[in-house]
Amino acid sequence: MEKLIQITSGRGPLECQWVVAKVLKTFLEEAKQNTIEYEIIHRENGDENLTLKSVTLLLKGEEVNLFLKNWLGSVCWIGKSTFRKLHKRSNWFIGIFELENIKMIDFNEKDIRFQSARSQGSGGQNVNKVNTAVRATHILSKETVFVQDSRSQLENKKLSVIRLKEKVMAVYIQQLERKLKDTWSLQMQVERGNPVRTFSGTDFKKNDEDRTFKKQRNALKNELKNYKNDLN
């Protein structure tokens, strides 16, 4: 099962961008612990180092739905701003939402058209005479990249696939974000007063209410174990 998830600060201030970066780290740690595979599809850097405005993830796993029950909605961090020492606000909210009814692009190398070309710029006679550069075009989206990093055409071809995928996915996510720009703010207004997770402290370790998927799963295992003992 696959799910497309966005963690976003929305129109929130710099403090919320910091919370997004911290939540992302915790989110991925828990996903890994619970055998949920993930791929970062797109990220929008924040206004300062170590901050993020938003990040879009593709999650894969049999228990993705159960895992996300403890994350989807608003997440609150309680703490004083490290960016504005005198700011009185102490509750900072971000949103984690599923991008529903959206079909992911099926990026496949068979949909790429490769063309060899002569490298451009300085580099001597070899650059001008040997077709080592590669132009790769994604036929479905029409996106194109030109790669001439290596003197090996094979290496340039490999690099072109990686860069073309990044470019296609970035354009795709930007289109999604434009569509969801107003939707997320409405969701945040509804969810803001009832966060699914609450963190506090600059180390981001303390969770005011432990609703983790791991704890729920262990409780379920113990319940089943007791049930089997009763049957015996």
Q: What pLDDT was estimated at residue 190?
A: 42
CA distance to 47, 107, 111, 213, per residue, from 37 (Å)? 29, 18, 25, 15
Same domain, 87 and 197: yes
Same domain, 7 and 68: yes
CA distance 82 to 204: 13
Looking at the chain, the number of H-run helices and the number of E-run strands are 6, 10
Same domain, 140 and 85: no
Same domain, 85 and 69: yes
For residue 55, the domain's CATH number is: 3.30.70.1660
- The pair phi, psi for residue 168, each rounded to 5°, is -65, -45
CA distance 74 to 8: 10
Same domain, 79 and 7: yes
Same domain, 206 and 94: yes
| 51 token code pair | 């901050």
Q: Is 223 inside a domain boundary?
A: no
Same domain, 42 and 97: yes
Same domain, 91 and 158: no
CA distance 209 to 215: 12
Q: How far is CA 32 from the centre of its chain?
A: 14
DSSP-assigned letter for residue 111:
G
Q: What pLDDT was estimated at residue 32?
A: 92
Q: Is 196 inside a domain boundary?
A: yes
Same domain, 16 and 118: no
Q: Is 230 inside a domain boundary?
A: no
Q: Is 187 inside a domain boundary?
A: no
Same domain, 168 and 197: no
Q: Is 72 inside a domain boundary?
A: yes
Please give the tally of structural domains in the chain: 2
Same domain, 59 and 97: yes
Could you give the residue ranges of the DSSP H alpha helices within 34-139? Answer: 64-68, 125-129
Same domain, 47 and 119: no
Give me the long-range contacts of 210-215 (CB less than 8 A, separation at least 24): 211/70, 212/30, 212/70, 213/30, 213/34, 213/63, 213/66, 213/67, 213/69, 213/70, 214/30, 214/33, 214/34
For residue 138, the domain's CATH number is: 3.30.160.20
CA distance 88 to 65: 37
Strands 52-60 and 2-8: what pairing? Answer: antiparallel
Q: Is 213 inside a domain boundary?
A: yes
Question: The domain containing residue 79 runs over which residues?
Answer: 2-101+192-218
Q: Is 185 inside a domain boundary?
A: no
Q: What pLDDT was estimated at residue 25?
A: 93
pTM, rounded to two decimals: 0.62
Neighbours of 30 (CB within 10 A): 16
pLDDT per residue of the chain (232 residues) written in tens, 0 to 9: 888 888 988 878 899 999 999 999 999 999 999 899 998 888 889 999 989 998 988 899 888 999 998 899 889 999 888 888 788 888 899 989 887 756 666 788 899 999 988 877 655 444 545 678 999 999 988 899 999 988 888 999 999 999 999 888 887 777 776 666 655 555 555 455 678 899 988 777 656 554 555 555 565 666 566 555 555 4
Q: What pLDDT was estimated at residue 68?
A: 93
Q: Is 115 inside a domain boundary?
A: yes
